[in-house]
Structure 1
Amino acid sequence: MDIKVREVQEWLNKTYGKVTGYEKCPEDGRTGWSTIYSLREGLQKELGITTLGKGFGSQTKGALKGKIGTLSAGSKGNMVKLIKGGFWCKGIDPSNFSDTFDSPLYNAIKLFQANAGVKIDGNLTVNLLAALFDMSAFILIPGRGDKSVREMQQYLNGKFSDELGILPCDGIYQRDTNTSLIFALQKAIGVSGANGNYGPGTISATPIVTSSSSAALIRVIQYGLYVNGHYSGNFDGTYNSSVAKGIIAFRKFMNLPPFTDTADLTLIKGLLTSNGNTNRESNTLDAATQLTDTDVNNLKRNGFQIVGRYLTGSVGVGSEKRDKNLTTAEINRITAGGLNIFPIYEDGGYEESYFTSSQGYKDAFIASTAARNLGFPEGATIYFAVDVDVQDGDIDRTVRPYMVGVINGLASTEFKPGVYGTRNVCLHGEELGMNCSFVADMSYGWSGNLGFKMPENWAFDQFVEYPIGGTPIDQGASSGRDKGHNAFNVRHVPIISPSDALKAIASNSLLKGKVNFDKKVTVINEPYLIVSVTASTEFENKGDGLAFNIKNGKFDPKDSVGLNEVLTTVFHMPDSGADLVIDYLGKTTISSEITAGNMSFKLSSSSDKLFKMSVTYNVQKVEDKILSGECSMTLDIEVDPLTFVTEKVNGFTSSVVQKIPNAGKIIGAAILLVGAVLFLVSTAPVDIIAGIAGFLTMLLSKLIPVL
């Protein structure tokens, strides 16, 4: 909490709290949009605007333009106090919170101007106040900002702030920075009506840049190469060997032949926009239409070699509805025509609400089943569509969990996970471990494309749509990372129905064959431990932590490594004990017959005495038979850890363990609880964690060697 920020918030609410249209800000000492909105509304009130609003638009700027000249050394009033409040919220110290325009305020203005890269004269301007009353940062963001990007942002502000306004200088390449860079190009090549949009006029005016071109134009190339990761030299406007090498490297990375140091439209627009030169040649397309022999011939004649097709679904509504799913007959037509195919999955995903972890797991199951039935070879990458412009701040709670679900869902299959989406979405997918990216660069205006570089793992780059012979296609480029497939072989794998799978699992001694779909059954009912189980014909993800993949009847090795580390470092278990826990968990406790799937946990507590946990298993294989439909099981476990604490005498002893009835019966549930505590420790109160951890560590040490 910042005391000065809280003082500003308290003053705002006291001064304008009764003004119609003013919205009070929290008095918590933290700068946020609500405080910025309150500052704006206070400013509008002082400017005589009767209808207050959260924005800083043309009406506010127009009214401020007529007032700005009165704000100088010695002037007094609420306007000055609002400006000082803005500086406190910006993290710049104006020394005091008085209503007088004094020398400390003058110095604060100059510091802000220096941070923004504009003329340092201590004079207020409309654009400066618009930047002040905003959440944009003008210092390097620790851990995220790049000093060279900030230098570029300051340079662009210094050149064009009168026309574009004062844009962020935080070292993060973003939409505003991208727009400013295009604006700088337009100015350098003399485009009339420059607006930061790479439209037809800019396209036609884009020259071939040489060493004799203007320094301003060459500097744009240097900046463009840098933000795309292909230049590390000075931003001096000199067309030197470093620039030439960067151009060649970028052309090769984006597959933009010829691979020379020529800086033409293809190179320049490729640096500054996501879709690049949409008239360039490429060998890839995707289509939501079942292709005929005529279509295949047309595509081949136009130089295409790789075709993206959808595994399932339909497009259109009513009389316009048509199937888009790939068929075996279509595969034969396409491959006979000499083209390769890569698979796309999209049945939904047009709204953010679609993207959840459980939906990702479900989609992985559906897509892998369809790909297998069509004969796609082992190792094929399936591209899961995120066909919506998800804002950067929303990706972590929507698309990332969805992609984790996809990755987990494919972990025990023969296929690899890929993602279709904006550059930003694909960058997140790359970080999570997606094998390849199919980048939706055609939507060049989407927020997830402007200001983001291409992911290193890009395989396909969609950049323009048009019809060929009446059939709509999306043209794209390929990097060579994924060449598609032309050899298909339907594999006849053993299948098991969800009901038969459930019977096999329920034969476990813990479950005693009692489990039925959609019916909760209690399998342990002791004073200190209640375990119930529910089965479902849908995949579930009730966990709020990690999901652990099960392959070949055991945990995925990468999950086992992390679990072993926590067991030995947090719980101080010997390696032998940790190995026993992992081995037991690897058998999934319920049944060693579950050979593929995943397991997730959720912890909660309703009081200091009751600890609850849900353990959810999504089952993909039983006895090496692939399920023909969805199947999941959830164990709901309730433990009263204080039951054991009350019996504690000089710590847990073997005599106490012997008093516990059915010790062998509850060992499986106990081990499950250990796994949950380890990975979701932050979700339960400390005292409960301590009680459970102590008891379970003791229980494991006493009982596991006996099993």
Structure 2
Amino acid sequence: MDERVKDVQVWLNQTYGKVSGFKKAPENGQTGWPTIYSLREGLQHELGITALAEGFGDSTKQALSTKIGDLKPGYRGKIIKLVKGAFWCKGISPNNFTDNFDSDLTTAIKSLQEGAGITANGKLTVNLMAALFDMSAFVLIPGQGKSKVRQMQQYLNGKYGDELGILPCDGIYQRATNTALIFALQKAIGVAGANGNYGPGTVAATPTVSEGASSEVVQVIQYGLLVNGFYDGDCDGKYDADVTSAVIAFRKFMNLPPFTGKSDLSVIKGLLTSNGNTDRDSIALDTSAQLTDKDISNFKRYGFSVVGRYLTGSVGTGESKRNKYLTSDELERITDAGLRVFPIYEDGGYEIEYFSRNRGYQDGITAAKKAAELGFPSGTVIYFAVDVDIQDGDIEGTVVSYMKGVIDAVKLSPYEPGIYGTRNVCLHGEEVGMKYSFMADMSYGWSGNLGFRMPTNWAFDQFTEYPIGSTDIDQVAASGKDAGVNKFSPQLYGTISYREVAADVLKGFGKSVSAEFNKKIELVDIPSLKISVELVNSLSVADESPAITISNGKLDSISFANWLQTSGHIKGNGVDAVVNEANKVISSASITNGNVAIEASINNSGESKLKFIYHILEAKDKQLDNELSVVITVTSKPTDLFTGTKIPNVDVPKLVTQSQTDQKSWETLIGFSTVVAIAGVSIFISGGTLSVLLDLIPQLFTGLLVG
């Protein structure tokens, strides 16, 4: 918490809290948009604006323009206190929080101006105020920003800040920077009414330049190569051999023949926009239409050889609704004509609320089943669509979770997962393990495309749309990573109901009841030992515990033994006995493939709690049609449970006492409790009793070396 920021927040609420339309700032000492909005609304009130709003729009700028000339050294008023408050929130010290325009404020203004790359004269302007009353950063963001990108941002501010406004200078290539680069190009080539949009006038005026040239256009090309990751030299406007090499590399990466060092429309627009030159040639397309022989003939005539088609679903509503799913007959006609196919899955995904891990898992299963029915061969990449412009801050909790669910489902099938979406979404997909990306670059105005580079795993790039005959198509560039498929062999792809598996789990525990999810069922409930089971229709996540693989109905004994040895300090040939007991639990649920994670804790009274979280991916050699976790919780108090029972090599009371202060003793007790818990669950499944457990424990520990 920053006390100075909190002072600003408290003052804002005390001063403007009763003003109509003012939204109070959180008094937490943390700068964020709510505090910035409160600062803006306070400023609007001081400027005489009655309809307060969160933005810093034209009305605010117009009202400020009539006042800005008065805001100079010696001026006193609440506006100055708001300005100083904004500086504190920006992380630039004005040295006090008064209403006086003093020399300290002048110093703070100069600091902001220097960071923004504009003349540091200590004077407030409308554009500088807009940048100040904002969350934009003017320092290099550690771990994210790049110094050369920041230098570019400062250059653009210095040259075009009066026209464009003052842009962030944080070293991160983003939408505002991208727009400014296009604006700089327009200025350099003399486009009337430059606005940062690469429209028809800019397309028509875009020149072709090559090695030996020296101009502002070349500097824009250098900046474009820099932010796309192809150039790290000086951005001095000189088209030298290094620039030529970078252009060739960019052409090859984007598949923009001819692979020369010249920068033409395809290169320049490709560097500055997501859709690039929309008149360029390509070999691929995608369409939601179920194709006729005439469609296929037309596609061949246009030079297309790869077609993207949807595995399932329909498009349109009401009378306009029609099927979009690929059929076996259609596949035969496409391949007989010599064309290849790549599969797309989209049965939703137009709104952010659609995306979750569970939805991804279900979509992965559905897509794999349909691909198998149509005969797509092993190794085919299925592209899962994220057809919405999700903001960067929302991707992690929605689309990333969705993609992880897809990956978990598809990895059990013969296929590979791919992603369709904005550049930002696809960059996240590349990071989490999507094999290839299908770019939604045609939507060049989407925030997820502006200011983001192309992922290295791109296979297809959708860049324009038009009809061929009466059929609408999206033209798609191809990198060559995915050639599409032209040979098909339909196959069965069986799944098993997760509810059926859940019921089998309960039967294995002697509970012939209907499966209820997210509800604990007590199996053993005595003072010294409690065992419960809970069914969860998602993949529960354990706290920092490695997942031990279950494959072909057996636990990975090596990994489990390693966990016992490293986390529980248990060694010896008795480990095999513990693994065998754990496998009895797996067998009771007919788990074929999955994993198990272990959570362990001990409280101050010596009570241990072990959670075994079984993620069931396949049962009875079939993939589940939904996510399923079985959480077994074993709570025991060793000092009570084993009173009078001799445990070889273990002084239980002493171990419990030492575990409160000694890490090694704590880990040893965890290992000991794990053995007890697994044995207890196994015995219960087999119909045994507590006395059987007490008799078995000494046998399990015979030969174990604890310590």
- TM-score if structure 2 supplies the norm length? 0.86
What CA distance in whole angstroms lies between the structure 2 residues aligned with 1:204 and 1:81?
Answer: 50
Q: Where does residue 595 of structure 1 map in the other structure? A: 592
Cα 1:573–1:474 change in 2 (3 A) is farther
Q: Where does residue 530 of structure 1 map in the other structure? A: 531
What secondary structure does 1:180 align onto? Answer: helix
Q: Displacement, 1:336?
A: 0.4
Native 8 Å contact 1:92 1:108 kept in 2: yes
Report the more deviating stretch, 564-573 or 27-36: 564-573
Cα 1:568–1:18 change in 2 (3 A) is farther
Query: Deviation per CA, 1:486-521, whole angstroms, max 9, x where unpaired?
Result: 01112356776768766876674xx24736445879
Query: Deviation per CA, 1:522-550, whole angstroms, max 9, x where unpaired?
Result: 47223232323559xxx534447689596
Native 8 Å contact 1:644 1:695 kept in 2: no
- The answer to whether 1:697 aligns with 2:671 is yes
Q: Where does residue 98 of structure 1 map in the other structure? A: 98
Native 8 Å contact 1:38 1:54 kept in 2: yes
Cα 1:633–1:657 change in 2 (3 A) is farther
Q: Displacement, 1:372?
A: 1.0
Q: Displacement, 1:95?
A: 1.5
- The answer to whether 1:308 aligns with 2:303 is no
- What amino acid is aligned across from residue 654 of structure 1 in structure 2? I
What secondary structure does 1:233 align onto? Answer: coil
- What amino acid is aligned across from residue 203 of structure 1 in structure 2? V
What CA distance in whole angstroms lies between the structure 2 residues aligned with 1:447 and 1:175?
Answer: 7
What CA distance in whole angstroms lies between the structure 2 residues aligned with 1:513 and 1:406?
Answer: 32
- What amino acid is aligned across from residue 443 of structure 1 in structure 2? S
Q: Where does residue 107 of structure 2 map in the other structure? A: 107
- What amino acid is aligned across from residue 530 of structure 1 in structure 2? I
Q: Displacement, 1:399?
A: 0.4
What CA distance in whole angstroms lies between the structure 1 residues aligned with 2:400 and 2:581?
Answer: 30
Q: Where does residue 238 of structure 1 map in the other structure? A: 238
Cα 1:614–1:358 change in 2 (3 A) is farther
Native 8 Å contact 2:554 2:592 kept in 1: no
Cα 1:576–1:390 change in 2 (3 A) is farther
- What amino acid is aligned across from residue 673 of structure 2 in structure 1? L
**1:160-559 paired onto structure 2 within 5 Å:** 160-211=160-211, 213=213, 215-492=215-492, 508=508, 511-512=509-510, 514=512, 516-518=514-516, 522=521, 524-527=523-526, 528-532=529-533, 534=535, 540-543=538-541, 552-553=551-552
Native 8 Å contact 2:539 2:628 kept in 1: no
- What amino acid is aligned across from residue 468 of structure 1 in structure 2? I
What secondary structure does 1:589 align onto? Answer: helix
Native 8 Å contact 1:412 1:551 kept in 2: no
Q: Where does residue 663 of structure 1 map in the other structure? A: none
- What amino acid is aligned across from residue 630 of structure 1 in structure 2? D
Cα 1:305–1:514 change in 2 (3 A) is same
Q: Where does residue 78 of structure 1 map in the other structure? A: 78
Q: Displacement, 1:259?
A: 0.4
The gaps in structure 2 that reach 5 residues or longer are 653-659, 677-696
Cα 1:184–1:588 change in 2 (3 A) is farther
- What amino acid is aligned across from residue 524 of structure 2 in structure 1? N
What CA distance in whole angstroms lies between the structure 2 residues aligned with 1:189 and 1:325?
Answer: 47
- What amino acid is aligned across from residue 586 of structure 2 in structure 1? T
Native 8 Å contact 1:346 1:384 kept in 2: yes
Report the more deviating stretch, 65-74 or 477-486: 65-74
Q: Displacement, 1:242?
A: 0.8
What CA distance in whole angstroms lies between the structure 2 residues aligned with 1:385 and 1:37?
Answer: 35
Native 8 Å contact 1:427 1:455 kept in 2: yes
Query: Deviation per CA, 1:348-402, whole angstroms, max 9, x where unpaired?
Result: 1111111111111111111111111111111111111111111000001000011
Q: Where does residue 145 of structure 1 map in the other structure? A: 145
What CA distance in whole angstroms lies between the structure 2 residues aligned with 1:67 and 1:576?
Answer: 84
Query: Deviation per CA, 1:105-137, whole angstroms, max 9, x where unpaired?
Result: 111111110000011111110000110010000
What secondary structure does 1:460 align onto? Answer: strand
Query: Deviation per CA, 1:136-188, whole angstroms, max 9, x where unpaired?
Result: 00000011111111011001001111111001000000000000000000000
Q: Displacement, 1:215?
A: 2.1
What CA distance in whole angstroms lies between the structure 2 residues aligned with 1:367 and 1:599?
Answer: 26
What CA distance in whole angstroms lies between the structure 1 residues aligned with 2:159 and 2:360?
Answer: 46
Cα 1:506–1:133 change in 2 (3 A) is closer
What CA distance in whole angstroms lies between the structure 2 residues aligned with 1:447 and 1:249?
Answer: 26
Report the more deviating stretch, 548-557 or 82-91: 548-557
Query: Deviation per CA, 1:382-437, whole angstroms, max 9, x where unpaired?
Result: 11111111100000100001101111111222111110010000000100111000
What CA distance in whole angstroms lies between the structure 1 residues aligned with 2:587 and 2:449?
Answer: 46
Report the more deviating stretch, 526-535 or 475-484: 526-535
Report the more deviating stretch, 10-19 or 155-164: 10-19
What CA distance in whole angstroms lies between the structure 1 residues aligned with 2:130 and 2:555?
Answer: 53
Cα 1:555–1:310 change in 2 (3 A) is farther
Cα 1:150–1:24 change in 2 (3 A) is same
What secondary structure does 1:121 align onto? Answer: coil
Native 8 Å contact 2:647 2:701 kept in 1: no
Native 8 Å contact 2:286 2:475 kept in 1: yes
Native 8 Å contact 1:613 1:636 kept in 2: yes
What CA distance in whole angstroms lies between the structure 2 residues aligned with 1:318 and 1:144?
Answer: 48
What CA distance in whole angstroms lies between the structure 2 residues aligned with 1:369 and 1:155?
Answer: 54
The gaps in structure 1 that reach 5 residues or longer are 660-685
Q: Where does residue 69 of structure 1 map in the other structure? A: 69
Cα 1:589–1:498 change in 2 (3 A) is closer
**1:645-656 paired onto structure 2 within 5 Å:** 654=647
What CA distance in whole angstroms lies between the structure 1 residues aligned with 2:280 and 2:630?
Answer: 56
What CA distance in whole angstroms lies between the structure 1 residues aligned with 2:170 and 2:375?
Answer: 50
Native 8 Å contact 1:357 1:405 kept in 2: yes
Q: Displacement, 1:466?
A: 0.9
What secondary structure does 1:654 align onto? Answer: coil
What secondary structure does 1:477 align onto? Answer: strand
- TM-score if structure 1 supplies the norm length? 0.86
Native 8 Å contact 1:577 1:701 kept in 2: no
What CA distance in whole angstroms lies between the structure 1 residues aligned with 2:603 and 2:65?
Answer: 58
Cα 1:496–1:180 change in 2 (3 A) is closer
Native 8 Å contact 1:515 1:534 kept in 2: no
- What amino acid is aligned across from residue 154 of structure 2 in structure 1? Q
What CA distance in whole angstroms lies between the structure 2 residues aligned with 1:604 and 1:314?
Answer: 50
Report the more deviating stretch, 221-230 or 544-553: 544-553
- What amino acid is aligned across from residue 209 of structure 1 in structure 2? V
What CA distance in whole angstroms lies between the structure 2 residues aligned with 1:121 and 1:619?
Answer: 65
Q: CA RMSD in A?
A: 3.7
Q: Where does residue 620 of structure 1 map in the other structure? A: 618
Native 8 Å contact 1:61 1:126 kept in 2: yes
What CA distance in whole angstroms lies between the structure 1 residues aligned with 2:498 and 2:564?
Answer: 34
Native 8 Å contact 1:222 1:231 kept in 2: yes
Q: Where does residue 87 of structure 1 map in the other structure? A: 87
- What amino acid is aligned across from residue 533 of structure 2 in structure 1? S
Q: Displacement, 1:630?
A: 2.2
Q: Displacement, 1:315?
A: 1.1
Query: Deviation per CA, 1:49-71, whole angstroms, max 9, x where unpaired?
Result: 22222111111111111111111
What CA distance in whole angstroms lies between the structure 1 residues aligned with 2:572 and 2:450?
Answer: 49
- The answer to whether 1:135 aligns with 2:135 is yes
